[in-house]
Amino acid sequence: MDDAKKINEVMVSLFNIVLKIEEKAIKESTIHDLSITEMHTLDVIGIGNGRTMSEVAQRLQINLSTLTTAINKLVKKGYVERFRIPSDRRIVKIKLTKEGIDAVKEHEAFHDELIRKALGKVSDEEIKSLIVSLDNIDTFMHMQMAKPIRDERDYSLGIIDFQNLHIKKALFQGGMGVGISLGGLAGAVAKEGGMGIISGSSIGFDEEDFETDPQKANRRALKKEIKKALAIADTEKNRGMIGVNIPYNTEDYREYVKTAVSEGAGALITGAGLPMTLPGICEREGYENIALIPVISSLRAARVIIKNWQKKHRKRPDAFIFESAMAGGQLGFKESELLRARELYYKTITDIKTEIEDIPLIVAGGIFSREDARNAYVYGADGIQLGTRFVTTKECDAKESYKQAYINCKEEDIIIIMNPQGAPCRALANKFTKNLRGTDYDITEALVKAAKGDVKNGLVFCGSKAYKAKKIDTVADIFKEFI
């Protein structure tokens, strides 16, 4: 039998037999009144503060009426309960009862033990290479959700020359706040020919008056960091660009835009909302040569921005950054959408690129290796943006303890927490995240603590592949690897 046939046979057989073993295990356990589908539903509801019906339906990819029938049964059996939230009595949520939580835990333990036993006679080395192979197969299967639009042999991260965006190498370094991508890192990236991005988020955290007059402290620090970045980048004649990332929900957004441009930034990058007023601000201030780059998480967002900017300002974005569900920091998806967004990653890239045509598409989130970048290219990325990879560089502005936290972390340490607005964020599990109760906390304070080096009690953002970081690189190493 040839290898492909054999592997196909094993995969199909594994899929079937695991389902049967699961069924049998449930029947023989204390939760024998549950079907596999019901167990899966309990899993999705999860051990937490409850979810809305539409969140669960979305995750399970079934319609609301099918879910309602299923939940009625689970309520009758005593595994799920409905409740109203005190702050808005109109909203009904569902959560697991104690019996439901025990069932999910028992089922998790079953899976864990099954795999452990199955791997009992396999050596550590073999397990390591098995994980790599399975990971590759998983990536390949995800790629089957869309049709490639380019040949992988043509992969290149070359020049982008579009409207106000002029870079020698289509490699962006993501804006990382608070205090992770400042002038040092952004300058080094621009010097290599890429787009170095200073994060404007609470950038004045180290200034004396940050507590008393944060706006003033932030603007002063922003000026300093842009100067520093330009001084580094200008040592190279063929340099790339310096951009500033200003979240759209920043108080006094317009003032930061003005500070960034007047100090010499060439690009403005904005996420955390659709930056509808950005071209208007630039028009009024007479900024004609600045690249305006929105960060988006869907085709719909790209469409809305293009239509609105065109109608009101006759302006098209100079590029879009599509940030996927695998990125670090605050994500542009609801928690219930994360899994589906990951499944549709390649399809979303293709859909966006096909519609936005000549506007450069930069893809971010979960790109760790040259192969990841090439896969994004094949499906439509004109360039890539890396966050996590640049944290563990010599030039990164983060404290040494921050970089080491990446190098020492394991895959299971990378978790999703909710920000105070209820949006998911990817971060490293530590004392801070363990002690989190709900969303009533000061996120800026937590990020500043980590930026100052306290990576146990502060909030450390990271991308989904941070566990792959093994050493400190230089920015030049990363350009060599990806270009």
Ligand X SMILES: Cc1cc2nc3c(=O)[nH]c(=O)nc-3n(C[C@H](O)[C@H](O)[C@H](O)COP(=O)(O)O)c2cc1C
For ligand X, which residue of 50, 275, 294, 366 counts as binding (CB under 6 A)?
Answer: 366
Q: Which candidate, 236, 238, 235, 287, places its Cα nearest to that of 263? A: 287
Backbone CA torsion sign across 254, 262, 386, 452: negative
Q: Which candidate, 412, 415, 436, places its Cα nearest to that of 426? A: 415
Question: Coil, helix or strand for 118?
Answer: helix
Cβ-based neighbours of 225, under 8 Å, separated by 6 or more:
182, 183, 186, 198, 203
Candidates 19-27, 35-43, 363-371, 451-459; binding stretch for ligand X (CB under 6 A): 363-371
Amino acid letter for position 462: C
275: contact with ligand X by CB under 6 A: no
299 CB neighbour count, 10 Å cutoff: 20
182: contact with ligand X by CB under 6 A: no
* Interatomic CA distance for residues 181 and 196, integer angstroms: 9
* Interatomic CA distance for residues 67 and 465, integer angstroms: 33
CB of 386 to ligand X, least distance (A): 5
Which one, 172 or 287, has the nearer CB to ligand X? 172
Which one, 388 or 393, has the nearer CB to ligand X? 388
Judge whether 294 and 384 are in contact, CB under 8 Å: no
Cβ-based neighbours of 426, under 8 Å, separated by 6 or more:
327, 328, 329, 331, 414, 415, 416, 461, 462, 463, 464
Judge whether 226 and 264 are in contact, CB under 8 Å: yes
271: contact with ligand X by CB under 6 A: yes
395: contact with ligand X by CB under 6 A: no
Candidates 121-129, 258-266, 311-319, 458-466; binding stretch for ligand X (CB under 6 A): 458-466
CB of 154 to ligand X, least distance (A): 23
CB of 95 to ligand X, least distance (A): 31
176: contact with ligand X by CB under 6 A: yes
Distances (CA, A) of 329 to 182, 423, 426: 16, 10, 5
Which one, 168 or 389, has the nearer CB to ligand X? 389
367: contact with ligand X by CB under 6 A: yes
CB of 201 to ligand X, least distance (A): 4
User: What is the per-residue burial (b if ≥16 Cβ within 10 Å, else e) of 43-70?
Assistant: bbbbeeebbeeebbbbbbeeeeeebeeb
Candidates 98-106, 128-136, 156-164, 462-470; binding stretch for ligand X (CB under 6 A): 462-470
Distances (CA, A) of 141 to 137, 216, 331, 375, 378: 6, 50, 24, 12, 15
174: contact with ligand X by CB under 6 A: yes
388: contact with ligand X by CB under 6 A: yes
Candidates 56-64, 66-74, 233-241, 360-368; binding stretch for ligand X (CB under 6 A): 360-368
Candidates 91-99, 172-180, 225-233, 274-282; binding stretch for ligand X (CB under 6 A): 172-180
246: contact with ligand X by CB under 6 A: no
60: contact with ligand X by CB under 6 A: no
Candidates 153-161, 232-240, 385-393, 435-443; binding stretch for ligand X (CB under 6 A): 385-393
242: contact with ligand X by CB under 6 A: no
Which one, 185 or 290, has the nearer CB to ligand X? 185
Which one, 207 or 323, has the nearer CB to ligand X? 323
Cβ-based neighbours of 39, under 8 Å, separated by 6 or more:
22, 26, 31, 103, 107
CB of 387 to ligand X, least distance (A): 2
Which one, 247 or 279, has the nearer CB to ligand X? 247
For ligand X, which residue of 279, 380, 387, 458 counts as binding (CB under 6 A)?
Answer: 387
For ligand X, which residue of 329, 360, 424, 458 counts as binding (CB under 6 A)?
Answer: 329
Place of tokens 């706006």: 215
332: contact with ligand X by CB under 6 A: no
Please report the DSSP string for 360-411 in residue order: -EEEESS--SHHHHHHHHHTT-SEEEESHHHHTBTT--S-HHHHHHHHH--G
Candidates 69-77, 115-123, 168-176, 230-238; binding stretch for ligand X (CB under 6 A): 168-176
Which one, 174 or 317, has the nearer CB to ligand X? 174
CB of 368 to ligand X, least distance (A): 7
Q: Token digits for 266?
A: 């060439």
To the nearest 10°, the Cα dihedral for 262, 247, 351, 346?
110
362: contact with ligand X by CB under 6 A: no
458: contact with ligand X by CB under 6 A: no
Q: Token digits for 182?
A: 């400042």
CA atoms within 13 A on the CB side of 171: 34
Binding site for ligand X (CB under 6 A): 174-177, 180, 199, 201, 245, 247, 271, 295, 323, 326-329, 364-367, 385-389, 391, 461-463, 465
